[in-house]
Structure 1
């Protein structure tokens, strides 16, 4: 089995806030990330697929196709956006890195037809979340 990863970047703003918590609880949990106007990150998104290389091409998946799918289904919708307000498919989601990888998976998995293995989202150089779907 071969694992192939495409890395892309995007910039976006978000605010971490839960409607299930009081104002004090939100600030205690999310600290400065609860800023009413939000804050931004330069995200790094890694999408990994798996499979056996096709004998005729030597590829698990054409990287040009992989790039197009990731951009069309995720990056084009979130780049230079406020994730709480500008992205319809994130409505009602607390845009933590953990929740974003799940939502990105939901959008990408059908397009990769069972080959999607893992999504990793680097929010900062020190913080990232990975997701391998429900089967993992």
Structure 2
């Protein structure tokens, strides 16, 4: 089994805020992430697929094809967007890194999974010190 990872980047704004809580409770739990005027991140997205190299190409999955797929399915929707307001697959969800990684997985998986190749992991780096990994 071989694992292939493609890395892409995007910039997006969001706000973590529970409307059932007071402003004070939101600030206590979410800190600066509950800023009324939003805040942004320069995200790094790692998408890992797994499988066996194809006998005719030696590829688990064509890396260029994977990059184009990520750009078409994810980056076009999230880059320079407000995750809370502009991104259909994040509608009515907390826009935490955790939920965003799950949303990205759900968007990509139908395009990647086949008999030969499976989506293995979505790793989303939010800051230099915070990242999440989702394995489905």
| TM-score above 0.5 | yes
What is the number of equivalent residue pairs in this alignment? Answer: 133
Taking the aligned partners of 1:5 and 1:45, their CA distance within structure 2 comes to 10
Distance in 1 of aligned mates of 2:105 and 2:18: 22
Once the two structures are overlaid, the 10-residue window that deviates more, 82-91 or 30-39, is 82-91
Unmatched runs of 5 consecutive residues or more in structure 2:
none
1:38-117 map, 5 Å: 38-114=38-114, 115-117=118-120
2:9 matched residue in structure 1: 9
Question: In structure 1, what is the equivalent of residue 122 of structure 2?
Answer: 119
Structure 1 moving runs of 4+ over 6 Å: none
> Shift of residue 68 of structure 1?
1.3
SS at match of 2:10: strand
Which SS does the other structure have where 2:5 is aligned? strand
Separation (CA, whole Å) in 1 of partners of 2:73 and 2:17? 25
TM-score when scaled to structure 2?
0.94
Bigger drift between 53-62 and 24-33 goes to 24-33
Give the Cα separation in 2 of the matches to 1:48 and 1:126: 21
CA RMSD of the aligned region, Å?
Answer: 1.0
Measure, in 2, the Cα distance between the counterparts of 1:92 and 1:120: 22
Consecutive unaligned residues in structure 1, runs of 5 or more = none
Structure 1 Cα separation of the partners of residues 47 and 21 of structure 2? 33
Task: Please give the per-residue CA displacement for 1:4-62, whole angstroms capped at 9, x wherever unaligned.
Answer: 00000000111111234332211110011100111111000000000000011000000
Could you say which residue in structure 2 is the equivalent of 1:132? Answer: 135
TM-score by length of 1: 0.94
Quote the offset at 1:89 in angstroms.
2.0
Please state how far the C-alpha of 1:122 moved relative to its aligned partner. Answer: 0.2
